[in-house]
Amino acid sequence: MSRIRGYPEDGELVVCTVKSVKNFGAFVTLDEYNDKEGFVHVRDVTTGWVKYIRDFIREGQKVVCKILNVDTEKGHIDLSLKSVNEHQKREKIQQWKNEKKAEKLVEIVAERLSISIDSAYDLFGNKILEAYETLYGAFETVAAAPEEFRNEFEGDWIDIFIEVAAENVTLPYVQIEGILELRSSAPNGVELIKNAMKKGEKAAKDAKVELQYVGAPRYRVVITADDYKEAEDIMKAVSTAVIDDLVKAGGEAVLKRENR
């Protein structure tokens, strides 16, 4: 994964390639640690009795294992396959894929700077890894907040790094919707509704919120955020501000939820 990592830590999840399978266990190489060799004992392949080990693990297979013990002096690494559940496996594989993509992006940055890959890591790669732990995490941060990144680091490479991040990283996000039904029979009802909507926009602060007119009395609220909890909190703040303001002014307001 990184050029500054030596050995994994006990309890860490790692992506491995199965090198050879014996009746007593399997020898694997650790993809993220320069293909260091590790061993999965047959008792750590799966729960229960194993009659044919190749029913559970086979040569050439990509597996996610948990580090049980590392002996750096002897170079021995013991791993467990059975200690990793499906959720952990999917999450780790995705993280590994993201990091492989990030390594390719570093190569693009190096090409545009007309320097070697090794020079790129010496210039900025290893510094970024120390600050962000993963290369992909750094690229995501840059794509979301380039100016913050620019304030944290310095060098002629920064503009190219930001450029490559913007071109290649799509930020993950969630989006939820709701319909506000807003009514007011007051002579200045339209203005009261507009004022209530402004209160909702103010309650959103710096969050990404769209308030769209659908057709009286319906107004769509679209919230975009990093995760569902954050999106729900923003939706609550915005809708509450709109509803409270209009109701206080004698109008009627209700939120009806939609999902996308």
pLDDT band at 258 (very low <50, low <70, confident <90, very high): low
In a domain, 134, yes or no: yes
pLDDT band at 207 (very low <50, low <70, confident <90, very high): confident
Residues 6+ apart with CB under 8 A from 73: none
Residues 6+ apart with CB under 8 A from 248: none
Same domain for 164 and 201:
no
In a domain, 72, yes or no: yes
Domain boundary among 82, 104, 120: 82
Same domain for 156 and 180:
no
Same domain for 233 and 254:
yes
Matching residue, tokens 């080990």? 53
Using an 8 Å Cβ cutoff, are 8 and 67 in contact? yes
Q: Give tens-digit pLDDT for 102-133.
A: 999 999 999 999 999 999 999 999 999 888 87
CATH of the domain at 34: 2.40.50.140
Domain extent at residue 120? 87-168
Which of 245, 250, 255, 238 has its CA nearest to residue 184?
250
Domain boundary among 82, 98, 127: 82
Alpha-carbon span 28 to 239, nearest angstrom: 54
Number of domains in the chain: 3
CATH of the domain at 118: 1.10.150.190
Same domain for 184 and 160:
no
Alpha-carbon span 247 to 193, nearest angstrom: 10
**How is residue 173 written in tokens?**
């996000």
Q: Give tens-digit pLDDT for 15-58.
A: 999 999 999 999 999 998 988 999 999 999 999 889 999 999 99
Helices (H) and strands (E) in the chain, counts: 8, 9
In a domain, 74, yes or no: yes
Judged by phi (left if over 0) then psi (alpha if -120 to 50, else beta), residue 94 lies in alpha
N-term to C-term CA, the chain: 35
* pTM of the predicted protein model: 0.61
In a domain, 159, yes or no: yes
Model pLDDT, residue 130: 84
Q: How many CB atoms lie within 10 A of CB 4?
A: 11
Domain boundary among 150, 168, 186: 168
In a domain, 231, yes or no: yes
CATH of the domain at 225: 3.30.70.1130
Amino acid at the residue 175: Q
Same domain for 26 and 52:
yes
Strands 76-80 and 36-41: parallel
